[in-house]
Amino acid sequence: MKRAWIWPTVFVLCGLAVAAGQFLGGSPGGAVAILVVFVGLAVVHSSLVFPGSIGAQEAERRSAVDGRPIVFWRPGCKFCLRLRFRLGRDARRLHWVDIWRDPAAAAAVRAVNEGNETVPIVFVAGRPHTNPDPAWVREQLSAPR
């Protein structure tokens, strides 16, 4: 859980340092702009931009009931961010599992990817798909089960 917040914390601290330098240098507007950019980077690299994460077992149970795909992801992963942003509102229709919060999920990801924690992995009907195209994932949401 702690390592999910390392990069957001680093972004905020760096932003504060650079903004303080700008402010002390006589540019309060520049300081605010820099701070806003760094806070934005912190938010994007946190788990705040993803729908609520659940455990792997709960996701499997829910997916068995409703047939929706499961996404295994981790904070800071640029490919996970790409998938999340390209899905837009449809992202809420998936079951999201943060592998840094759930050791069983991380083990499942390693089992699928020859020991590597390569994410995102989308499980559709129990079959894993590593870093799939967001358009394909969107099609799976509308496919009959």
Res. 114: pLDDT tops 70: yes
> Within a 13 Å sphere around the CA of 130, how many CA atoms are in the beta-carbon half?
11
Angle of the 134-142 helix axis to the 78-87 helix axis, nearest 10: 50
pLDDT of residue 33: 93
**Residue 17, domain extent:** 2-45
Does the pLDDT at position 1 exceed 60? Answer: no
Do residues 59 and 109 lie in contact, with contact meaning Cβ atoms separated by under 8 Å? Answer: no
Same-domain pairing of 33 and 101 = no
Q: How many domains does the chain have?
A: 2
Average pLDDT of span 131-138: 92
Give the pLDDT confidence score for residue 2 in this predicted structure: 62
Confidence of residue 99 (pLDDT cuts 50, 70, 90): very high
pLDDT (0 to 100) of residue 18:
93
Q: Cis before residue 120, ω within 30 degrees of 0? A: yes
Would you state the pLDDT for residue 7? Answer: 77
* pTM attached to this predicted model: 0.72
Q: Answer yes or no: do 106 and 128 share one domain.
A: yes
Question: CATH code at 115?
Answer: 3.40.30.10
Q: Give the confidence band of 137 by pLDDT, cuts at 50, 70, 90.
A: very high
Question: For the residues 29-35, what does the mean pLDDT come to?
Answer: 91
